[in-house]
Amino acid sequence: MIRYLLRRAGRAVLLLVAVSILLFLLLQAAPGEFLSDMRLNPQISEETLVALRAEYGLDQPLPSRYLHWLESVARGEMGYSFAYNLPASQLLWPRARNTLLLTIPALILSWTIAIPLGVLAAWRRGRWSGRIFSAGTSTLLAIPDLLLALLLLLLALRTGWFPGGGAVSSLGSERFGDRIWHMLLPVAALTIGALPVILRHIRAALVEALESPFIRAAQAHGVSTVRILFSHSLRAAANPLISLFGLSIAGLLSASLLIEVVMSWPGIGPMLVEAIISRDLFLVIGAVMLSTLFLVLGSLIADLLLYVADPRIRVR
């Protein structure tokens, strides 16, 4: 098991390095920089701009800047924000915590709802309830995440039952109930957006498992329906569903960045948009790298679950 995890972790580290190099190349090729707007100000001299470029390291070649950034990552800083004049990590880790406050409950809720519904839909395939299931998931798939978030915001504004944005009711308010109240709509948007894809995959995997010969043999021997569905069939369909679990983490992370911006949730999404607009190089890189890190950790969790669930992987 240790060798398996070390091999997967090594691939994850290589992926993070490749993403960081690609980010530096793309941002280098993008027009403009953080100091571009200052050039339009006649009160700022060219000597001042040259000094600022030297202070921020923008006058150095790309390989040197990348190596300096790796050194800052080793120190836990993840570069330096030009706009805030602070290490990027001090800005990003609180935002990352807020992003996880949305994605983790949404992940748990979506799978908790999807597994029994998907199993029931597979068992009732071909009947009127199965047609309603297909129509419902197709409708949810057709609704973009942006439209879903806007509809929930409209519900909050029209009814007053939910807050229209933010994370707390007032400055300095950190009560548990207040935070949960503000999380309800963003988590609901993420959960509803993730449900149809997970439901369809669970139904497809269970339908294939239910048509297997050993399931028909279990039915012939009088094994109860509940045991067939939730023990034998679900276990037979576990491998593709565990892989889907890792992919659903990526989907929730990407959707959360958009929903955070729309619903004014102080996560990584709004800070990433702000950093891109201001061309805050290391803040952009840090935000993308943190999102990639969460994706890699989700993939590692899925690999570990596959290792536990499938003895063929342990033998191999």
Residue with tokens 């290391």: 282
Q: Which residue blocks in the chain are alpha helix, DSSP H?
A: 2-29, 46-56, 62-74, 88-123, 128-142, 145-159, 176-210, 213-220, 225-227, 234-236, 238-262, 268-278, 281-309, 311-315
188 pLDDT above the threshold of 80: yes
Indicate the pTM of the whole model.
0.80
Q: For residues 256 and 39, which has the higher predicted lDDT (pLDDT)?
A: 256
Are 183 and 162 in contact by the 8 Å Cβ rule? The answer is no
- Tell me, yes or no, whether 197 and 286 share the same domain: yes
The arithmetic mean of pLDDT across residues 208-231, rounded, is 75
Query: Amino acid identity, residue 289?
Result: M
Position 313 scores a pLDDT of 66
Domain boundary among 60, 88, 116: 88
From CA 215, how far away is CA 25, in angstroms rounded? 53
Higher pLDDT, 170 or 290: 290
Cα–Cα distance for residue pair 91/96, rounded to 1 Å: 9
d(CA 152, CA 140): 14
Local confidence band at 39 (pLDDT 50, 70, 90 cut-offs): low
Token pair, residue 211, equals 């048509």
**Same domain assignment for residues 175 and 291:** yes
- Cβ(249)–Cβ(298) under 8 Å? yes
Contact 92, 290 (CB under 8 A): yes
- Say if 316 falls within a structural domain: no
Q: What is the domain extent for residue 63? A: 2-88
Q: What is the per-residue pLDDT for 308? A: 76
What CATH number is associated with residue 134?
1.10.3720.10
Examine the pLDDT at 173 and tell me if it is beyond 60: no
pLDDT, tens only, 98-156 = 888 889 999 999 999 988 888 888 877 767 766 777 777 878 877 887 888 888 888 88
Shared-domain flag, residues 304 and 180: yes
- One domain, residues 17 and 122: no
The reply to whether 137 and 269 lie within a common domain is: yes
Q: Are residues 9 and 104 in the same domain?
A: no
> 200: which residues sit within 8 A by CB, 6+ positions away?
118, 137
d(Cα 257, Cα 265) in Å, to the nearest integer? 9
For 221, other C-beta atoms within 10 Å of its C-beta total: 7
Report whether pLDDT(84) > 80. yes
Chosen domain end from 29, 54, 88: 88
pLDDT tens-digit map of 59-80 = 778 888 888 888 888 888 888 8
**Confidence tier at 171 by pLDDT (50, 70, 90):** very low
253 and 5 Cβ atoms separated by less than 8 Å: no
Percent of all residues in the chain with a pLDDT value above 90, rounded to a whole number: 2
Q: Is 87 helix (H, G, I), strand (E, B) or coil?
A: strand
Amino acid at 295: L
